[in-house]
Amino acid sequence: MKVKILVFNPFSENTLILYDETGECAIVDPGMISEEENESLDAFIVSEGLKPVKLLQTHLHLDHVFGTGYVAEKYGLAAEAHKDDLPLIELHKDYALNFGIQVNSNPPMPETLLEEGDVVEFGNTKLKVMHIPGHSLGGIVFLNEEEMILISGDVLFQGSVGRSDLPGGNHGQLISGIKKKLMTLDDEVVVYPGHGPATTIGEERRSNPYL
């Protein structure tokens, strides 16, 4: 599985395109907020000859869903997310306004609900879902066990962890979830977070001051 990182919107959010040798791809957390950003997502898909078959959300904070409506419509996909984040969909426009960002509509409601232990598939790729609340109530991460790749959303970053001062946040719960479910993975697992550069489980085990 290959991972393309596209950085979008004023929050410098990582929109990920996961793809494999079949040409099928999953778009994770589409954060595009302008025509230019939509075009850059589309350009990558066209240049690699990819077929988007999944629209996955690690969580539903505003910076991760600005482009969800666009992807849903353009590629005929329904978003997949954890149920505990669904209330955020209705609040999207108001949250955006709090940051001085005007959006025309709320994102479409996710139609497939993901929970702990689910396996998402596209092409020849399998992603295991793990629920790690504490940054948001419905925060999930996606683990490709075969290729040792983790899509960590805003749960775990290089040298940091997700903030827990937003509604539904709980620092203790976040740290215990990371320790129990992520710090038990192999050192070699490559981590692609929702913001900032990729890292590995080993690097975070050694140097993350929050863990």
Q: What are phi and psi of 183, to 5 degrees?
A: -75, -5
Pick 80 or 154: Cβ nearer Zn ion:
154
**Minimum CB distance to Zn ion, residue 7 (Å):** 12
Report if residue 154 touches Zn ion, rule: CB under 5 A: yes
Report if residue 92 touches Zn ion, rule: CB under 5 A: no
SS (H, E, C) the chain: CEEEEEEECCCCEEEEEEECCCCEEEEECCCCCCHHHHHHHHHHHHHCCCEEEEEECCCCCHHHCCCHHHHHHHHCCCEEECHHHCHHHHHHHHHHHHCCCCCCCCCCCCCEECCCCCEEEECCEEEEEEECCCCCCCCEEEEECCCCEEEEECCEECCEECCCCCCCCCHHHHHHHHHHHHCCCCCCCEEEECECCCEEHHHHHHHCCCC
**Minimum CB distance to Zn ion, residue 155 (Å):** 9
# residues near Zn ion by CB under 5 A: 4
Pick 35 or 165: Cβ nearer Zn ion:
165
* Axis crossing angle, helix 35-47 with helix 68-75, rounded to the nearest 10: 50
Report if residue 29 touches Zn ion, rule: CB under 5 A: no
> Which residues inside 108-147 make contact with Zn ion, applying CB under 5 A?
none
Pick 50 or 156: Cβ nearer Zn ion:
156
Tell me the window of 63-71, 87-95, 112-120, 167-175 that interacts with Zn ion (CB under 5 A).
Answer: 63-71
Pick 69 or 134: Cβ nearer Zn ion:
134
Report if residue 84 touches Zn ion, rule: CB under 5 A: no
Report if residue 61 touches Zn ion, rule: CB under 5 A: yes
Report if residue 194 touches Zn ion, rule: CB under 5 A: yes
Residue among 199, 186, 195, 202 at smallest CA distance from 135: 195
Q: How many residues can be counted in the chain?
A: 211
Report if residue 63 touches Zn ion, rule: CB under 5 A: yes
Tell me the window of 59-67, 82-90, 97-105, 118-126 that interacts with Zn ion (CB under 5 A).
Answer: 59-67
Tell me the window of 84-92, 94-102, 194-202, 203-211 that interacts with Zn ion (CB under 5 A).
Answer: 194-202
Pick 61 or 92: Cβ nearer Zn ion:
61
> Which residues of this chain interact with Zn ion, rule CB under 5 A?
61, 63, 154, 194
